[in-house]
Structure 1
């Protein structure tokens, strides 16, 4: 028996002891925990190379993928290679990685991993078990998404022949690579595999087909990584289901532990364990209903994350579905959760199958709430996005975009206010939901004025504080109107100061000499001389002849 200390299995947090014997190898963590064992008959190949903690022994097993043992010393190579040669009949291949730092090379699909080679040396390898999804991101670009770590952060130890460590190796560190994109130009030739007379597969060059290289890479990776093709057959399939988030139509394939969304551009594989919330929300049009799945980790499409999956189904569309599983599986694993046959409206069938396979409870709108028109959702907007706000027993849910979930226990206060012009403010109002601990707020705008009482009754029943700024605003407007009336009926002292405009009648412009008495008199004197006594008689007539002494005397011409 050969024994090695301080060896790390699959990037585990704790080191352990690795032992090799004729029957196989084993690894036990030094801090205690589950032991990993691998039978000698399951060892397919072995590679030795430089790694993060020293030197790494990579074992390609025949059934459970790739096993990585890191932390060996350079002197351990002779002992390892001798033990593998004698006990397992396998030569340990010593490999050197490419260190040039080039980001272009050749991708090679091996049995258990995707290898990226630069000048015929491996730059990096990605085990298929670590790939959760792949999509065509463009005409010549393929996106590869990696599995996220387990939420509990615990070490993962695989059992013989199992895939328990799948997607959980990176749990050892806080940072991880979650997506990689390959640019693949040009075309490639796809060779069809044909079975020969001896039962072995042979390349048939006549069946060779030239196609886009990126498409061929994508299809090969889908096949090798078994994305969607999980163990077991498809239990149920729903075709052409409309999704509002992410937007598009997808076929849904239901498997034992996961389901797959198949679209024209994107494919997704989602574990049932990622479903944290399950909502069934009827729309206000009485024609459609929404099925909302809360996902953690969220669905990723490039840089966009979708924490909620929103499906829209017609209420009057009925389907007939036969579950593709044996009676034994149905009775043993899904007793009282699934039926062998369904013939109901599609939204009920999808809900029952998802609930049966995932084991999640279905959340529906609260019976304590009903809108002014008897609906269970209230029409409103988040910024420029219109949607429906549903009032549940323990939360609020806005759909479809951006899907927003708020737990009632986290709400500090709800503020009702009017925003907008005079016309819109009289018909609609906004509510602002402020969260406890200063965690932010959510504003829902353009709510019909008729829904105010329904919302107030619901929040009061849930013992949530309400601040009605509309009532305060109305009281302020009434007070302002009364003040204006009082100001209008007051005397001159209450008039607003108009500045110098009020002084025009009383002030005298002393600098203006054009209106002097002498100038006016001279002008009339010249007329008087030419017109005789007619002007004087006209003046007497206008004064009635009684105020002869009060009239100004004419200036005597010198």
Structure 2
């Protein structure tokens, strides 16, 4: 048996049970969180004790290491014990001892600091144990030790404080203070030694992009303190789990990145990365306040006096303090000649760094994506235009939805494609761009945009026409004479009547020019007549549009497609907290594309059943006369909307018919408005008003 793998196992992480996968090989034991959380790696030669005891009401494996650290893994099954015993005996020569917890509920026992754990036992039987690294502060009173604990933001329930009552014999003055002794033992392994007045080094005016601002950074053996103009932060060294050193795209500065777990917090904002920006050519001589033992433990990496580029000094210092490797870019070189690929994530511009074991994005939000968490990648155009200078890089995670980087230079397409192939990462569109052509290719800049060419041609034609015409000086006197002449020639004729709303016009509706000016009562009457005509035209237009068929509520429901059947059944599993309907539909569409034909068979069979059902119901629906009433109603509406003839009536026909009615009424108006000499002034006024009323009735 070369290796064992247990998915769904969890590990205790500052009060949170982080779920992941535990792998046991001949060389080591490794745990990887499902969502990029806590990771643990223990060499097989460093394992000293293995115990089988419960963790979170389920069987677990307690692993004791040579350095005093203890790792506890839970979520096993009872049947897994035989497999583990067989493997550990053959691979590591270690046997697993059963260790049942003492659960009688007594609140007294012996509290001891063993290795890096606080163990609470009764008669050598374990009751509980707490890692010293979870302790944030220890306070010693007269006969009581108070322990405060770090808080994990992801945990719903947290242990805040624990008090140990340690009896002290007051008669024996020479007796060692047990409370103070317990406190110092916890502090020694909790990494909470009191900070000396003089830190190891002081970094002044350091530019940080996350959290943004300039800070004064004091580096202590167990923590680093950031002092800014607005906020201060304190970061324990043990919370730093990764170090990165990557160059900026401009090649004038470098980013030094610290990955933090748990993240630092300011209000509701959490920062999982501390990103420092150093100038490449900035050099400094630095004195490090380190003891001889600390210098020896650095294996020659650190010296009491160090000089050179400041980013190299800082990276070497943190490498020694955190006992971590500084990850730098590998062989990937982008189009800019640096490992930085400029792109955007959620409209925030930044840089993507393809490293040896993952992708690092700086900076909003900063993230590190491990290759082992990636299921596939996709390179595509940014939009559907004919000329595209950018591509989108989509990373699909095994744990869920994709991460998309937009607005990436198209010249990076081939470089990323070759890089992914070397790392054996699946690409969903495996086609390399050759000369800007091919499947999945990005169009060349030299390709012609038809719309752009048409606009340019139109502009040139306009410029040519403007050049052919010559500008002439404007003569105001000549223009006034021309207008006066046109006015004299048109006076007395009906060819260009004055506006009918002009109360001072000398023409009546007959166009003779012989009647007296319109009275104040005639103007509103004419206006009402025009408004009536416009309303009539609008109503007839609306009636002409009523031919649209209304949906019958009794008609059978159409067959639901195989995709919608699958989406409705899996909508709850696809939806995450904060997702909208559109987000769920997008996730569903992406997952449906990746499903195999065998997975889709079930839903396609259901669709065929739906199709047969719909055809049968529609046949029965039509047999019973369904849909006939709505079609008849629409045809009758069309007939009633027009005149008695079967032909369609246009807008021009309606306008002409109204005008012809006015022409027939014109002689009647003339008769009623005969010569004013034959009638009195009152009769002529009555005739004018009567003509107006008659025209309104005719309308």
Question: Taking structure 2 as the reference length, what is the TM-score of the superposition?
Answer: 0.39
Q: Which has the higher contact order (CA 8 A, sep 6+)?
A: 1
Larger fraction in helix? 2
